[in-house]
Every structure is written in structure tokens, then in C-alpha cells.
């Protein structure tokens, strides 16, 4: 079991609920943040942003648009486009990121961070995932940017998969840790690094044992699916994402890490909408759309692990602490209903439907609407 001794809050929570001796049916948490989110642009942005903004306080917004968000000016303009679609949610804060390229200018990154426009830089190994063609091939070329980030405490969000075609797709995260992450940590030890959407026990172990400037985000879907969900009984494009879901033992390691209360692990949904026509194709896109039902899914997982008392740490505390931000000053309440919830199957956009994640089990925990 991860996490070590229970903290005083946890003991208080347990004592309170044991005294009540009733199953928990209502849970109030500081408002969650999503530390890894794809909002896209244009019609897709317009269709999906409310699914996050209605429940979350902040979200780290991924920069893999086409073309990517690479400069301070790009991030600023993208932020404005997002906010233009959040009129009904004035408190929602998109936290912008820059897409690291081999020609990224360190002084532009520092200026963007110091102006409060960006909160992280994203490293995609070139070709690793959706829209990553402009990513990094030669790590020496980005060293000045990484040094500058370490100096100002700006986190690097890492897509942790090698792209070497000779490495099996199910091994790409573990090999990345050996070939890239370990040398990177040794080269720039003061850099804050987040292993995004960790999918393996190897990744969990690495992050848990690393220093205080290393963390990992865990997605909602990787807590539910293993590789059988994608491939057994017919190919399931809506369970295909990158990094691809691994064996069941890896899923169990992720559940243990997320529910453990260990400060290194926090929510990054990686909610990544694609049109159904792009996923249900001979060459389907990677990405799972989880924003609409993520919190209901998470409450289900944490309850099943008898860990509802750790949900707030995972969704609302650890991420903010790692990013050096205060936790939210408001709350949400999740209520356990008697009847299973009914979520829409898909979200409509001007260009077609986007299937919403089906976690495969009935969900009962509902977020109470924002007052």
C-alpha cells in the first residue's frame, strides 16, 4: 500500500464516518482541478468546454492544437478563445501550457510564466501521440529551456512514451523512464517534472520513489480499463488512447496510487475529444472523452476502494500543491443517488458526435449543480 501513515484529516474523517456508522451518501470536496485536459479549438472547443468548466475550478490545457501553441502570444490568444466560451462559468480558469519544440525560446517561456499566462510546458517526444509532429527529437536542443524552467520553478509536463518503432507499444512508457526520464532528471535535477497519464506499475514506482519535484497525473479511464477492454471481443475504438491501457496489474497499481493519498499522484483526466468519425475509422485517433462523467467515475472507484476520504486529495489538493497554487476556495458536493445515473452517450458538436466514456459499470455519484 502506498502513502504511509494516515494524516490527521484522514483520521478525523474516518472517526466522523465510523461514528455515523452509515454509508456515506454525500461528499463535499474543495472544487476539483483537472491537471491535464484537451479542449481543442473552434467548434469542438465550443461543444466541450462546459463539460469541464461546470465542475472544475482550473484545468491545465494541453497545447497540441494544429498548429501547436508554442509562444507566449499563442497561449494568450488561445486562452482568450477558451474564455469566450466560458461566459456561464466566470470562475473557471484555464491554465495554459506551451508546446516544447526544438526551437522554443527560453526567454519567451520565462516571460510567459512570469506574466502568469502559462503554468507549465509540455514535452511530447516527436510522433508520440495526437498532433505531436513538432515535438522533441534531440533533448540537447531543449536543455536551455529546461534549465530556465528549473530556475523559475515552472513544471515540465511529460508525455512519457518513446517513439522508437522497435519498442513494443505496451513497453513504451517503461522504456521512456529508463531512456529519457532518468537521464533528464539527472541532467536537470531541480526541474519539476510531471509524468502525465501514467499507465504502468513501473511509472507509479518511479514517481513514488523520486524526489519532491516529481509527480504523476492519473486519468479517469486508466482506473477503469485494461488492454482487454480495447481488444477482446471486438476492437473498441472508444477505449483507445495514448499511452494505451496496459495489463490489469498495471491498472491495479494506478488505482492503488490514486487512492493512496500519496501527494505525488493527482487527477489529470486527459479528456481528449475526437469526432466519432475520426475514431471509428480504419486508422482511429487516440483519445477518450471523459469530461462529462469524470467525477462520478472517480467517486465510484474511490468508494469501491473504501477510499472516499482520499478523493479530495486526488482531485483538489495534490495537484495545486505541486503547481505551487492554493487549493480552491469553494466546494462541490457529490451525492449518491439510489438509481443509476443516466449520462448522454455522446456530445454533439457542429461537425458531428463525440462519444462519452462508458466506464462499464452503473454510476450513482452525482455532482450537485453549481448554485
Q: Which of 270, 276, 338, 358 is catalytic?
A: 270
The candidate with the shortest Cα–Cα distance to 36, out of 232, 296, 215, 297, is 215
Question: What is the closest distance, in whole angstroms, from the C-beta atom of residue 263 to ligand NCD in the complex?
Answer: 23
- Per-residue interface string for the shown chain with ligand NCD, residues 142-181, x marking contact by CB under 6 A: -----------------x----------------------
- The reply to whether 270 belongs to the active site is yes
- Phi and psi, residue 283, nearest 5°: -135, 80
Beta carbon nearer to ligand NCD, 72 or 122: 122
Residue 51 lies near Zn ion (rule: CB under 5 A): no
DSSP state of 94: E
| Distances, alpha carbon 346 to alpha carbons 11, 152, 289, 349, 366, in Å | 40, 41, 9, 10, 18
**For the stretch 143-154, what's the b/e string if a residue is b when 16 or more beta carbons lie within 10 angstroms of its beta carbon?**
eebbebbbeeeb
Beta carbon nearer to Zn ion, 241 or 308: 241
Of residues 231-250, which lie at the interface with ligand NCD (CB under 6 A)?
A: 241-242
Cell numbers for 247: 495489463
The rounded distance, in Å, linking the Cα atoms of 96 and 107 is 17
Of residues 259-278, which lie at the interface with Zn ion (CB under 5 A)?
A: 270
> Could you say which of 31, 38, 185, 336 contacts ligand NCD (CB under 6 A)?
38
Q: Which partner from the list Zn ion, ligand NCD, none does 331 bind, CB cut-off 5 to 8 Å by kind? A: none
Residue 300 near residue 364 (C-beta atoms within 8 A): yes
Q: Give the DSSP letter string of 129-143.
A: STT-TTSBS-GGGGH
Of residues 298-337, which lie at the interface with ligand NCD (CB under 6 A)?
A: none
The rounded distance, in Å, linking the Cα atoms of 198 and 201 is 9
Beta carbon nearer to Zn ion, 158 or 255: 158
Of residues 213-242, which lie at the interface with Zn ion (CB under 5 A)?
A: none
Beta carbon nearer to ligand NCD, 199 or 310: 199
**Number of residue whose CB is nearest ligand NCD:** 287
> Could you say which of 44, 272, 299, 307 contacts ligand NCD (CB under 6 A)?
272
Beta carbon nearer to Zn ion, 265 or 365: 265
Residue 130 lies near ligand NCD (rule: CB under 6 A): yes
Cβ neighbours of residue 59 under 8 Å, at least 6 residues apart? 33, 34, 35, 37, 39, 52, 92, 93, 94, 95
**Cα 232 from chain centre:** 26
Of residues 125-144, which lie at the interface with Zn ion (CB under 5 A)?
A: none
Residue 56 near residue 35 (C-beta atoms within 8 A): no
Residue 294 lies near ligand NCD (rule: CB under 6 A): no
| Catalytic residue numbers, as ranges | 270
Question: What residue ranges bind ligand NCD (CB under 6 A)?
Answer: 38, 64, 129-130, 159, 241-242, 270, 272, 286-287
Amino acid at each position: 500500500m502506498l502513502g504511509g501513515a494516515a494524516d490527521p484529516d484522514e483520521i478525523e474523517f474516518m472517526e466522523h464516518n465510523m461514528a455515523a456508522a452509515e454509508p456515506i451518501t454525500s461528499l463535499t470536496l474543495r472544487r476539483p482541478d483537472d491537471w491535464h485536459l484537451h479542449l481543442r479549438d473552434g467548434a469542438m472547443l465550443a461543444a466541450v468546454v462546459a463539460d469541464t468548466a461546470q465542475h472544475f475550478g482550473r484545468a491545465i490545457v494541453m497545447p497540441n492544437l494544429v498548429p501547436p501553441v508554442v509562444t507566449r502570444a499563442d497561449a494568450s490568444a488561445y486562452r482568450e478563445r477558451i474564455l469566450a466560451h466560458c461566459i456561464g462559468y466566470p470562475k473557471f480558469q484555464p491554465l495554459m501550457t506551451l508546446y516544447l519544440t526544438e526551437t522554443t525560446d527560453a526567454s519567451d517561456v520565462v516571460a510567459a510564466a512570469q506574466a502568469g499566462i502559462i503554468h507549465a510546458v509540455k514535452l511530447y517526444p516527436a510522433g508520440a501521440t495526437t498532433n505531436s509532429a513538432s515535438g522533441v527529437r534531440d533533448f540537447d536542443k531543449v536543455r536551455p529551456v529546461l534549465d530556465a524552467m528549473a530556475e523559475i520553478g515552472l513544471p515540465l509536463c511529460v508525455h512519457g512514451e518513446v517513439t522508437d518503432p522497435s519498442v513494443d507499444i505496451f513497453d513504451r512508457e517503461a522504456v521512456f523512464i529508463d531512456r529519457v526520464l532518468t537521464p533528464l532528471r539527472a541532467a536537470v535535477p531541480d526541474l519539476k517534472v510531471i509524468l502525465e497519464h501514467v499507465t504502468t506499475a513501473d511509472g507509479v514506482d518511479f514517481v513514488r520513489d523520486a524526489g519532491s519535484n516529481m509527480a504523476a497525473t492519473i486519468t479517469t479511464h486508466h482506473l477503469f480499463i485494461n488492454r482487454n477492454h480495447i481488444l477482446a471481443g471486438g476492437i473498441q475504438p472508444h477505449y483507445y488512447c495514448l499511452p494505451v491501457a496496459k495489463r490489469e496489474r498495471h491498472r491495479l497499481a494506478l488505482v492503488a496510487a490514486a487512492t493512496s493519498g500519496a501527494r505525488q499522484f493527482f487527477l489529470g483526466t486527459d479528456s481528449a475529444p475526437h469526432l466519432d468519425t475520426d475514431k471509428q475509422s480504419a486508422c482511429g485517433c487516440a483519445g477518450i472523452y471523459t469530461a462529462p462523467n469524470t467525477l462520478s467515475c472517480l467517486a465510484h472507484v474511490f468508494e469501491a476502494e473504501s477510499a472516499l476520504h482520499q478523493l479530495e486529495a486526488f482531485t483538489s489538493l495534490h495537484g495545486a500543491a505541486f503547481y505551487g497554487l492554493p487549493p480552491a476556495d469553494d466546494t462541490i458536493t457529490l451525492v449518491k443517488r439510489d438509481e443509476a445515473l443516466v449520462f448522454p452517450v455522446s456530445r454533439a458538436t457542429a461537425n458531428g458526435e463525440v462519444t462519452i466514456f462508458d466506464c462499464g459499470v452503473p454510476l450513482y455519484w452525482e455532482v450537485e449543480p453549481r448554485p
